Amino acid sequence: MVATSVVQHSSIQRDQQLVLWLDELRLEDVPIVGGKNASLGEMIQQLTPKGVRVPSGFATTSYAYRYFIEKTGLDAQLRQVLGGFDINDVTELRRRGRKARSLILNATFPDDLKTAILNAYHHMCETAGQSLCLGDESCLENAYTEVDVAVRSSATAEDLPDASFAGQQETYLNVYGDQAVLNACKKCYASLFTDRAISYRTTKDFDHFDVALSVGIQRMVRSDLATSGVMFSIDTETGFQNAVLITAAYGLGENVVQGSVNPDEYVVFKPTLKSGHKPILNKRLGTKALRMVYDTTGTELTKNEPVPLSDQGRFAIEEDDILQLAHWACTIEDHYTELRGTNSPMDIEWAKDGITGELFIVQARPETVQSQKAQNELRSYILDVPKGVEPVARGRAVGDLIGQGEACVILDVSQIAQFRPGEVLVTARTDPDWEPIMKQAGAIVTDQGGRTCHAAIIARELGIPAIVGCDNATQILTTGEPVTVSCAEGEEGLIYRGELPFRVETTKIDSLPETRTKIMMNVGNPELAFTLAALPNDGVGLARLEFIIANHIQVHPLALLNFDQLTDGGERRKIQQLTALYEHKPDYFIDKLAQGVGTLAAAFYPKPVVVRLADFKSNEYANLLGGSTFEPNEENPMLGWRGASRYYDDRYRDGFALECQALKRVRDDMGLTNVILMVPFCRTPDEGRWVLEEMAKHGLVRGENGLQVYVMCELPNNVILADEFSQVFDGFSIGSNDLTQLTLGLDRDSSLVAHLFDERSTGVKRMVKMAIQTAKENNRKIGICGQGPSDYPEFARFLVEQGIDSISLNPDTVIKTRLEIADMEQQMG
C-alpha cells in the first residue's frame, strides 16, 4: 500500500462532509457525529491542554450514513422491516432486527464514501509510520504502517444527559487494513438496528429514522498489554457526588464493560484530591480471571485468555494511576459542568498502553441514573428476614432496592424467549443483546461483573435491583423457584430463597426545619456511609472503630505484629489469606482501618466526624483472629482492661500504634481533617494525658493541623472531675449507656436487673446536667451519643433544655427526632 498525502480539510460545509477529524469536533456537533465522537472531539480540543490524553482519529458523519442509506436504496426497505410489530415479542423482534442488519451488511459503499474513509485511514497510517522514524529522513520515504484502530459506533441520539443508550451499537477493536476498516464501519452501521437498539429507541420514543450513525476510527491504546476499565465521577449506587469510582482489569476494556470479569474497584474522594492529597478511600480486589488481547494467530480480531493466579491476586493498577485517573475524572466532570451549566457526573472509559505506560481516556458520556434522581426524597427498603433464614448467594449490590419473583436461569442469549415478565433473570453475564428482557425483569442476578458492567448500568437506568459478580448463582438457583434479591443491606447484595416480607419507607427532606441543637448520627459501617450522608445531619457524633476492626480487619493487631509467633495453624492460615496482598502484615491493619475511617469521614465532609478510638473489652479482642494469645482472661471485662488504659500499656501500646498510624493517614494523607478523635473509658485526667502523649509519638498531636481530641463522658469520675478533664481535652461526648450503668451500679446485660436500667432516672439526669454545665463553664463542646435520645423524646427534651450542643442518634431516628427537637426549641423560644 502506498501512503496517501495528508488529507486536506474540505471547503464543503461541515454538516455535508463525509469525514471529519476528531480534533475538529466540539460537543455541539452531536447532530453531525453523534454523542460519543462529539465528546471525544470536545476532550481533544479542550482538555488535552489540561493533561488529559485522548487517542486521535477521525469520524464518518451522520451525513455519510444518510448518504449511504439513500444511495443504496435501503430507506424504504428498512421502513418496511421495522414497521408495525410488538417489540415485547422477542422472537419477532429478533427476526426483524436480523433482516434489517442483513440489508445493510449486503449493501455496497458508494465509491466516494469508501474513498473518504480510506484516505483518512491512510493518513493515520502514514502519520504513525513517520512517528516511528525518530528523525531518520531515509526512513520517511517508506514511512507507512497499517495502524490498528478501534472502530466505534456513535449515534446522534446517544450519550444524552437523560438517556445513555449505553452499548446499543457495536465497537470493534484491533482493526487494521483497508478492507477490515471498511467492513467494521459497515458493521457499525448495521448495529444501529441491533435488537436491543430497536427495543431501546422504541421504549424511549425515538423514531428509528430520526437517528443517524457516525463511526469513530481511533488509534488503539495497547491495553491488551496492560489494563483498562471504567470510571464514574459519582458513586453509582448511592448518588454520592464527591466520589470517583474506578474499575480496572487486565487487557482490553470490553470485558469490564460487558461484565465478563469481576474487576478491581477503587474509590477516591474528590474534594481533598483536588487540594493535593491522596484520598483513596477503598481498594477492592476483583478476580480478573480473563483478559482480552489481540488474536495474533487465529482469525478473530481479539480473544480472551486466562489470567495467571499470581496476577489475579494483585491489584491491576498502582496508586499513582488511580490518582491520575481520578484527577482526570474531576477535570472532565468540571469541564462538562461548566459547559452545560449544571452538575454533570460522567461515565468514562479509560485504557493504559502497555508499550508506553501512558493512560488514555477513550470515551466519556453523561451519567444518566443518579444524576437524574430527585434530591428531595429518601426512599428506604427494609427487608424483614425471618429468624434462621440465610442468604443462598452473595455478590455486589447494584442500587438499594429489593426485588422478588420466580428465578429464570438462562445461560445463552438465544434462549431469552423463555423469559416471562416479572421473573428474576439469572445468568452468567449480560450484554446489550439481553436488554429486550432486562427491562421486564423483577431483578437481575449475574455470576460475573462489577459495579460498572453492562448489567449494573442497565439495571440502574431501568430502576431494577441487580446483584452482579455472584460467581455461582446460576448453579445455586433453579428456574421456577421464588427468590428475594436484596440490595438494601450495604455493598453486599444478598439472595434468599422465597419471597420474604419487606417494606418501603419514603421521607421528604426538602422541608425539614433547622435546629439550634446539632443533630448528628452514630455510624460505624463504612458501607452505609454514602447512603446515610444523604439524611439531614450535622455530622457524625460517634463513629465506632470496633465495626471496622471486627468486620473488615478481623485480626488482632498484635497477631499481625507477631505473626511468626502464632502457634495455631488454622488461625495462621486465615490471617495469611486475609493479608495476602501485604508483605508487612501490620500494613494490612493500617490500610484497612484508614480506608474504613476515611470513607466515614469523606461521606460527611466537611462536617465533623467524631471517631472513637477502639473500645473492645478483652474478651472481644480475644475473639479476633490471633487474639486469644494476647488477651487476659478477666472476670469482669466491662470494668477491666479497656479504653484508655490499654493505649499506653506496654502490653498493648504497639497495637495502639497501628491505630494511630491509620488515623494519621486519614487526616494527613487523605486530607480529612474533619476527623475528631475521642478517647473512651478514660478514668482520670492523668490517664488522658498519658494517652495524648502516646498519640503524639505517632504524629497525632492535639492542636496540630487542627486536631481536636474529645473524651467520652461515661464514668461518674468524668462528671465529677469535668473541670480537670476540660484542661486535657477539647470536648466531651456523653455515653449514656455506660454512664447509666455505672451510676446505677448495674449490668444492663443481666436479665436479673436490666429492668432497672433507665437513662431517665433522677440520678443519671443529675449527672448529665452537671456534665453539661461544667463543660459550658469551661468553654468545651459537649454532646451525647448514647441510645437514650433515640428511644425517649422526653430525655431528648431534657438534653435540649440543659443546652447540650449536639445529640447523636441512630440513623433511623434522625428525622423523627429532628422534628421533635425543632418543636421543643420553638416552644422554649
The terminus-to-terminus CA distance of the chain in angstroms comes to 87
* Strand order across the 243-250 sheet: 280-284, 264-269, 243-250, 227-232, 346-352, 359-366
DSSP string, 781-822: EEEE-SSHHHH-HHHHHHHHHTT-SEEEE-GGGHHHHHHHHH
Given CA atoms 435, 438, 439, 445 in this order, what sign does their dihedral have? Answer: negative
SS3 content of the chain, % helix, strand, coil (to 5): 45, 20, 35
- Find, among 60, 342, 362, 338, the residue nearest to 214 by Cα: 60
Distance CA 203, CA 463 (A): 14
**What cell was used for 477?**
438457583
Question: At a CB cut-off of 8 Å and minimum separation 6, what does 334 contact?
Answer: none
3-state class (DSSP) for residue 345: coil
> Cis peptide before 606, with omega less than 30 degrees from 0?
yes
> How far apart are the C-alpha atoms of 676 and 692, rounded to whole Å?
13
Catalytic residue (choose from 330, 453, 470, 785): 785
Contact present, 501 and 384 (Cβ < 8 Å): yes
Helix 319-340, helix 30-46: angle, nearest 10: 130
Alpha carbon separation from 314 to 15, 285, 450, 554, 773 (Å, rounded):
49, 7, 17, 20, 55
| Contact of 41 with 201, CB cutoff 8 Å | no
Nearest Cα to Cα of residue 819 among 378, 541, 534, 509: 509
Q: Is 785 a catalytic residue?
A: yes
**Is residue 669 within 8 Å of 705, Cβ to Cβ?**
no
Cell of 160: 444524552
The three-class DSSP label of residue 550 is helix
Q: Beta-carbon neighbour count of residue 357 at 10 Å? A: 9
Q: How far apart are CA 734 and CA 772, in angstroms?
A: 9
C-alpha torsion angle, residues 804, 809, 815, 818 (rounded to 10): -10
Q: What are phi and psi of 467, to 5 degrees?
A: -125, 120
Tally the C-alpha atoms within 13 A of residue 807's C-alpha that lie toward its C-beta: 34
The Cα–Cα gap between 505 and 620 comes to 35
Question: CB neighbours (10 Å) of residue 448?
Answer: 25
Supply φ then ψ for residue 617, to 5 degrees.
-85, 165
Instruction: Give the distance from CA 678 to its chain's centroid.
Output: 29
CA pseudo-torsion sign 430, 431, 437, 441: positive
**Helices marked H in 155-263 — which ranges?**
178-190, 195-203, 254-258
Q: Are 294 and 302 in contact (CB under 8 A)?
A: yes
Q: Residue 625: name the closest of 560, 548, 564 by CA.
A: 560
Q: Please give the helix or strand (H or E) that residue 531 lies within, else none.
A: helix 529-532
Within the chain, how many helices (H) and strands (E) appear?
31, 30
Q: Does residue 552 have an active-site annotation?
A: no
Q: Are 567 and 635 in contact (CB under 8 A)?
A: no
Residue 7 DSSP class: P
> Which residue in 454, 487, 556, 682 is the catalytic one?
454
The residues annotated with a catalytic role in the active site are: 454, 785
